[in-house]
Structure 1
Amino acid sequence: MTGKGTIAGDSNLTAVEQIKCDRKPNWSSDHAGLRLAVWFPKWPGLANRGEYERRDISFAISDAQDRVVAAGEFEEWAFFWLPEKYLKDDQHIGVPNLRHWCENEADAHDDNSYQAAHTVLRAWGPHERKTDETPFEFGSIVIFDRLRIEAGNVPQSGAVWVLIQKLIDRQFKGKQNCSAMILIKPFPLEYTGDVNSGNAAAFARRRDAMVRLYGARLGARLLDQRDRWLWIRTNDGLPEPRRERRKKAALR
């Protein structure tokens, strides 16, 4: 894909460009004349850490002239089993619980986090009820929240996707930073706040094209039929989600 491509969120690269100017990246990698730079904060120290914590992981991909050709952001949620002496109040429940995360933690942050958490609750809630095991046992839960690509040609676009895959492999599949899954909600930004009966069919076609793109480029699989949430397994031990049943067409 050349030109502009988005998942959701900001329609420009200004925020990441500002980060790029403000501080050095945590790590970087080169490929085909492009450089990937990644920024993220450390998790809070043990004395200041809650059971549920979140952080943003930002990245920018620049060409040889230092022009940003792609940028994006991940939102990472982690559960920490805290020693008893660090438990601050009776709100701490001691073990991960998807409904608690969805309704008390993600919902308090923003609507997109709540939607993602609710999607995880629907998909893995049945497994949790049977086994008391949640995806947090297999690592953090990551939302691929923002992406914009402004590649100048097809080879450059291909190189961008190679670097995004490299970011996922290193940041979320490594022994030190293993996550359970990455969630993606494809949404064409040109329809933000403007999906109506007149353009609903065009919106659906555009969104389905994005679903196919992320499947082809990142191996993302469909998790939710209604909102078209996708997921990428980043820990092989994570159980399969509950499969949604397709609604049968009404008989005429």
Structure 2
Amino acid sequence: MDIKIGSRTFLESEVANKHKRVDLYKKMIELAPNEPTDQERQDEAITKLRYMQFRERKSSSATLGFRIEAAQLPGVPIQKNFKQIRTRLQVRRALRHFCGTDKVCKQLAKRLRHIRDSVEASSFFACHEIVGSSVLLIHDGGTNPTSNKEVKVGAWLIDFAKCHRIEGGGKLTHRRPWDLGNHEDGYLIGLDNLMELLEGNEEEEEGNDENNNNNEERINLKFNEEKEIINGK
């Protein structure tokens, strides 16, 4: 399973990029026909920033700090139909389906905890923004909950093409909300929530979905404020 980590999935340089793209507009209306503004419908094009922030809000990136990009199980084609999975319960069910058993979920969570602790202690991560990176989760197919067979799992950080050192000697928390210029990416927010969902259970997530919906409302309000700032209003 490929999971994109971070609540911000675009580089800050994209804020100044006003080039509008037809292909991204088409991708947007495929996912959400009512999303474009009147001006965007007239232009039939949007900026990359607009599309990336739309994808963050439409998925779980904005609220959980990560989103599932793709997954593959034995004997079936690779699955990429995760674009509108965004609530905690939906994500938990997708993770559980991939893992098959609680044993696999908890072993992957243990591996991710080790990664999270290493990232927090790393001087490299403290001074680099990590955008567009993913966690690759793998297990050996131990889907039988009554089996005594040893289950092998793995988790690796991948895709660091958009990893950049921040200027001025500052340090990132990878947990603070992003504001233009602070370079925060929400990387650790994503790892924290991913571990929590792997370790949790479905009953807990049903109770958490109401809080998640409230978070989505706040995200939408913040997005509208940011759009006005970016557009110079």
| TM-score, normalisation: structure 1 | 0.23
| TM-score, normalisation: structure 2 | 0.24
- Structure having the larger proportion of residues in helix: 2
